[in-house]
Structure 1
Amino acid sequence: MLMAKKEKVKSTPFSDFFRYAKSAEKRKFFDRIAREAIKEQQQMLEKAEKMS
């Protein structure tokens, strides 16, 4: 069975970051994302507590 050639997809700045960034930079990125997510969750919990 012949396989069709996969179409090459252009890189994005996001994919380039994950491909070429140093692990310390990636760690900093994920730490920031985690802190922001925790902050949003805490705000949501506070809002829910005020509603009840």
Structure 2
Amino acid sequence: MKNHFNLGKKNWFQLVKGKFVDLTISGVLEKTVVSEIYNQLSSGFEQVVKMIP
């Protein structure tokens, strides 16, 4: 993740969401945990976008 500082906010959030999905598929994280994190990231992203002029 630290290699992706040059990504915009939208692409960075998509990358993080994709990583959580990959971890869920591999069975490292439980589906309920990832769905809660995914929802929090999604709602946070919408709020951040609204704050940008």
The alignment's TM-score, normalised by the length of structure 2, stands at 0.47
Larger Rg: 1
Instruction: Give TM-score scaled by structure 1 length.
Output: 0.48
